[in-house]
Amino acid sequence: MQIEVHGRGSGRMSASEFRSFQARRPDRERWELVGGVAMMMTPPTIAHNQIASNLERLLNDALARHAPAWLATQWPGLDLGTGDFRPGPDVGVIDADYDAGQRFVDKAYLLAEIVFDTDEVIVPGTDRRWIEVKRELYRTHPHCRAVLVIAQDRMEVALDLKVDGAWTSILLQGREAELLLHEFGLSCRVADLYERTPVPRT
């Protein structure tokens, strides 16, 4: 299900209006600003949540050894500066030093999405899927060094890595494909992301 909430007058909602609106919603609701339109995200599947939990755990285990100033967390509130997009990443690596009541950050070093139904919607005013726009937004975030787009129905990860200021893209497929994130201290198999899910083990 998608719920749209339009901004006053122009039919679009500004980023500040969206954050004010979002603050009034129950914590259980997930909202994203998609091309100036506030959309409530479809509740994710159990498999989606398990993949996110697996990635968060794998990253935090690696970060504890390799980069303890960072931590991985699910659904960090990310502010990308100006514009009429406010995505809600499924998993992000952020600074480990944060305030008790903090909801949003303006720096994320890794951003990951596990693709589900709402990611396939077409962004208003474009012919592009929301997941494609999010991937591009994450790559333009100046602090981001890695972007993962993870399928939830098959063992597949689209990985973007920023190396020496330039982005490279790799498609990892199959259980034995190796996910290497040197800057985050992580080395694992793609299959490790899908532990305790019904995704076929082939």
- With respect to residue 86, please indicate whether it lies within any of the assigned structural domains: yes
- With respect to residue 18, please indicate whether it lies within any of the assigned structural domains: no
**Would you report the helix, strand and coil content of the chain in percent, each value rounded to 5?**
25, 30, 45
- With respect to residue 22, please indicate whether it lies within any of the assigned structural domains: no
Query: Which residue range forms the structural domain that includes residue 112?
Result: 44-194
- With respect to residue 200, please indicate whether it lies within any of the assigned structural domains: no
Q: What is the pLDDT of residue 166?
A: 96
The residue among 48, 182, 201, 99 whose CA lies nearest residue 190 is: 201
How many other C-beta atoms are found inside a 10 Å radius of the C-beta of residue 77?
Answer: 16
Q: What is the pLDDT of residue 2?
A: 43
Q: What is the pLDDT of residue 7?
A: 45
27 burial type by CB count under 10 A (0-12 exposed, 13-18 middle, 19+ buried)? exposed
Q: What is the CATH number of the domain that holds 161?
A: 3.90.1570.10
Three-class SS of residue 26?
coil
Three-class SS of residue 77?
strand
Quickly tell me which residue has 């076929």 as its tokens.
200
DSSP assignment of 79-114, as one string? Answer: --SSSS-B---SEEEEES---TT--EES--SEEEEE
- With respect to residue 127, please indicate whether it lies within any of the assigned structural domains: yes
- Whether 130 contacts 118, CB under 8 Å: yes
Distances (CA, A) of 200 to 3, 49, 51, 171, 191: 33, 17, 14, 18, 10
Tens-level pLDDT at each residue, the chain (202 residues): 344 444 444 468 888 888 888 888 988 888 888 888 888 888 899 999 999 999 999 999 999 999 999 999 999 988 876 678 888 899 999 999 999 989 889 999 999 999 988 888 888 888 999 899 999 999 999 999 999 999 999 999 999 999 999 999 999 999 999 999 999 999 999 999 999 999 987 6
Q: How many domains does the chain have?
A: 1
Q: What is the pLDDT of residue 6?
A: 43
- With respect to residue 23, please indicate whether it lies within any of the assigned structural domains: no
Q: What is the pLDDT of residue 4?
A: 44
Q: What is the pLDDT of residue 81?
A: 64
- With respect to residue 131, please indicate whether it lies within any of the assigned structural domains: yes
Q: What is the pLDDT of residue 122?
A: 84
- With respect to residue 151, please indicate whether it lies within any of the assigned structural domains: yes
